[in-house]
Amino acid sequence: MSSGMDHFSLQPLLLQLLSSRGLALAGLLLLLVLCLRARRSRRPGEPPLIKGWLPYFGQALKLQKDPIGFMKTLQKQHGDTFTLLLGGKYITFIMDPYQYPFVMKNHKLSFKVFSKNIIRKAFSIQKFMTSELNNELRDCYQLLQGKSLDTLMDNMMQNLQEVFEHQLFKTTNWDVTHLLTFCTSAVFEATFTTIYGKFLGADRKKLITELKEDFLKFDNKFTHLISDVPIELLGNTKSIQKKLIKCLTSEKLAKIQGWSEIVQMRQDILEKYYTSKDVEIGAHHLGFLWASVANTIPAMFWAMYYLLRHPEAMAVLRDEIDHLLQSTGQKQGSGFSIHLTREQLDSLVYLESTILEALRLCSFSSIIRYVEEDLTLPSETRDYFLRKGDLIAIFPAVLHQDPEVFEAPEEFRFDRFVENGKKKTTFFKRGKKLKFYLLPFGLGASKCPGRFLAVIEIKQLLIILLTYFDLEIVDDKPIQLDKGRFLLGIQYPDSDVLFRYKVKS
Ligand code: HEM
């Protein structure tokens, strides 16, 4: 749930403008009202101001077309700090990674101001959030760590193995399928079952498939949902949102067995603040469900995609995993039987490096804060003055693509994060060791609380696939990031690709 989403609402808005006349009208009216905001001029001491010729939208079109290339050009022209007009907002971008701690630590920069608006729009949570409710719900994040994480991890492994069980006993012939569709089903089903539990009854498979389909329709409209376009103008988006919320109310959740500790704690808290029949409880659950799968699905896709395109990497990973399974007495049998502890998973450095490398290449998550009071931004070369009411943003995708930090940054190198057989954590810029070099999970107050589970889930899924199946890419077409969700998190591919798999003989 990106704190910054709301402020990039211009991009879906533009899509709407291009695609529908009614929305074009709404957009034009909005434009007239908001272009007044574009009149601002740079004051002494402020960062360079780049407004572009389009009032309100500012530089949005250029940024959407090529986010990293455009930001690098601006950095070359204006230095490491500059202010962009985007969607009626003035956003100061901090490009120097040595200045990131300033954004994290400054108490005049707020993260909460945004999340409220996004949560209201995306999930229809109206009562959000008294500080107490917000704080209590955030306390639940501790249940994504420590012993609770161990339990989640064991359940996840079991659920993932169940997802693939029927395939394992099916056929030993090649099965051709679309990779994104495959990853979506596996991640959605295993994550939902691990976090929310299992539907009861004979039609459980049907229920989870229906939920997944509705979720995908909802997620597909996500950037539109958080835009300035009223939900009523977004076709059936509102009805899908409503349907999903209704699927996750207290009454419906009661029919699901095996809630995780975090869902139980969230439900207990929500029942203190709402009557148990209040549908808004379902809206809170939808928010959490969205956070737990929306980025994990494309992250899983990219990890698998790069492995399929790099058989040499796949061979090293297979070896690493086989070695661990042998040394823990878990030789491949006829059925699923893998059990690995967190320490054992951690010891798979090439597997972890592969996942980090995939995240480096596909993450466009940004870190955005609201400037609550006028302030001075210090830097090595000069200080800049920032205005109250503006936004400040870190867009780490540019750092992830910096050739000074990552040699040949456009290449997938599965062992980029391994050094002397251990996890590599030393990356340099301007001769100094970087504290922050990879930020797919955000930073500071808004850092993803589900990051450990996300990486564990991707590791477990890859272990199952590499251990039990032969895997090959079928489509050799090159695919790109679809930048539709730029600044929002992990990017989807611009098209799906075929791959094939069969049970290892
Ligand atoms: C590869 C997978 C994932 C990625 C890349 C990712 C990334 C992120 C990022 C960047 C944020 C912060 C957004 C901001 O600045 O506002 C975030 C927030 C969040 N994530 Fe994740 N996430 C992933 C998986 C998960 C999983 C598996 C869970 C839950 C089990 C989860 C739960 C959350 C929650 C609850 C928040 C909101 C935190 C808050 O209230 O401040 N995420 N995630």
Q: What's the pLDDT tens digit per position in 307-340?
A: 999 999 999 999 999 999 999 988 766 667 889 9
Residues listed for the chain: 505
**Between residues 169 and 17, which one has the greater pLDDT?**
169
pLDDT of residue 9: 38
483 pLDDT band (50/70/90 cuts)?
confident
**Which tens digit of pLDDT belongs to each residue from 459-472?**
999 999 999 999 99
Of 102-111, 304-313, 416-425, the one with minimum mean pLDDT is: 102-111
Encoded tokens for 342: 């967190």
| Pairing relationship of beta strands 89-94 and 109-110 according to DSSP bridges | unpaired
CA dist 240 and 367 (Å) reads: 29
The secondary structure of residue 390, as a DSSP letter, is -
7 pLDDT band (50/70/90 cuts)?
very low
3 pLDDT band (50/70/90 cuts)?
very low
pLDDT of residue 26: 57
Query: Taking the CB of residue 261, how many other CB atoms lie within 10 A of it?
Result: 16
Run of H or E residues at 89 = strand 89-94
Taking the centre of ligand 1 as the mean of its atom positions, its distance from the CA of residue 458, in whole angstroms, is: 15
> Can you give the C-alpha Rg of the chain in angstroms?
23
For the sheet with 175-178, list strands across it. 175-178, 498-503, 469-473
Long-range contacts of 372-376 (CB under 8 A, 24+ apart): 372/108, 372/109, 372/110, 372/113, 373/108, 375/106, 375/108, 375/109
Q: Whose CA is nearest to atom 21 of ligand 1?
A: 448
166 pLDDT band (50/70/90 cuts)?
confident
Closest-lying ligand 1 atom to the alpha carbon of residue 367: 15
- Which residues fall within 8 angstroms of residue 242, CB to CB, at 6 or more apart? 124
CA dist 66 and 74 (Å) reads: 12
350 pLDDT band (50/70/90 cuts)?
very high
pLDDT of residue 335: 67
Q: How far from 325 is each of 13, 201, 312, 348, 464, CA to CA, in Å?
A: 50, 35, 20, 11, 11
Of 217-221, 438-442, 454-458, the one with minimum mean pLDDT is: 217-221
Taking the centre of ligand 1 as the mean of its atom positions, its distance from the CA of residue 350, in whole angstroms, is: 24
CA dist 372 and 383 (Å) reads: 18
The predicted model gives 75-92 an average pLDDT of 91
Closest-lying ligand 1 atom to the alpha carbon of residue 144: 30
CB-defined site of ligand 1, < 6 Å = 1-3, 138, 144, 288, 291-292, 295-296, 299, 365, 367, 440-442, 446, 448-450, 453-454, 489-490
Mean pLDDT for all residues in the chain? 88
Residue 249: what residue type?
Answer: T
Instruction: Return phi, psi of residue 332, to 5°.
Output: -60, 120
CA dist 354 and 412 (Å) reads: 9
pLDDT of residue 17: 38
pLDDT of residue 233: 82
Instruction: Name, of 11-25, 95-109, 195-209, 300-314, the range with top average pLDDT.
Output: 300-314
Positive or negative: CA dihedral 473, 479, 484, 489: positive
Taking the centre of ligand 1 as the mean of its atom positions, its distance from the CA of residue 454, in whole angstroms, is: 9
**Between residues 125 and 116, which one has the greater pLDDT?**
125
Of 164-173, 201-210, 487-496, the one with minimum mean pLDDT is: 164-173
Instruction: Return phi, psi of residue 8, to 5°.
Output: -115, 25
In 79-233, alpha helices (H): 100-105, 112-123, 131-139, 146-170, 179-195, 204-220, 222-225
Positive or negative: CA dihedral 49, 52, 57, 61: negative
The predicted model gives 127-131 an average pLDDT of 69
Above 50 in pLDDT, residue 1? no
Taking the centre of ligand 1 as the mean of its atom positions, its distance from the CA of residue 285, in whole angstroms, is: 14
pLDDT of residue 273: 93
pLDDT of residue 33: 59
The predicted model gives 51-55 an average pLDDT of 75
pLDDT of residue 25: 57
**Between residues 421 and 23, which one has the greater pLDDT?**
421
DSSP letter string over 291-331? HHHTTHHHHHHHHHHHHHH-HHHHHHHHHHHHHHHHHTT--
pLDDT of residue 151: 97
15 pLDDT band (50/70/90 cuts)?
very low
The predicted model gives 117-125 an average pLDDT of 86
Closest-lying ligand 1 atom to the alpha carbon of residue 287: 35
Run of H or E residues at 500 = strand 498-503
User: Which domains does the chain show, CATH number per domain?
Assistant: 131-363+397-438+440-503 (1.10.630.10)
Of 300-304, 327-331, 496-500, the one with minimum mean pLDDT is: 327-331
Instruction: Report if pTM > 0.75.
Output: yes
CA dist 351 and 381 (Å) reads: 40
Taking the centre of ligand 1 as the mean of its atom positions, its distance from the CA of residue 442, in whole angstroms, is: 8
pLDDT of residue 23: 54
pLDDT of residue 12: 41
